Amino acid sequence: MVPFYLERFAGVSTQVAKHLQRPVADYFTQQMHVTPSGMFTLPPFLLTLQMLGADRILYSVDYPFQEGDQARAFLEHAPISPPDKEKIAHSNAEKLLKLSPFMI
């Protein structure tokens, strides 16, 4: 939901967040990561990708409520570039959590 509201945050937060050095939306887009856990529909995923970029999305599943196969199939068939799929599937988590590929 937050990516949907980023533009609104920018407009309303200028009055209440004068002490911040940057707009509120900048803190979100530069310091937060999101997961599509259990929500495998294209429009919200593409909006998140557009608003935050592939560097801020982490692959996730919603087990035991949904099987991992659905999440994997969604990412495999998503109309995004292979480098972005790699980031979302594992590279972002490796970087964020300081994991080497051999630890996974």
pLDDT for position 77: 95
Q: Are 2 and 47 in contact (CB under 8 A)?
A: no
Strand partners, 2: none
Examine the residue annotation and report whether 62 is marked as an active-site residue of this protein.
yes
Rounded Cα–Cα distance for residues 26 and 70 (Å): 32
pLDDT in tens, 79-103: 999 999 999 999 999 999 998 866 5
pLDDT for position 13: 66
Q: Is 67's pLDDT higher than 80?
A: no
Catalytic residue among 26, 62, 69, 84: 62
In the block, residue with structure tokens 């259990």: 38
> Region 4-33: what's the mean pLDDT?
77
Is the peptide bond prior to 64 cis by the omega test (within 30 degrees of 0)?
yes
pLDDT band of residue 14 (cuts 50, 70, 90) is: low
**Nearest residue to 35 (alpha-carbon basis) of 61, 9, 7:** 61
Q: pTM for the full model?
A: 0.80
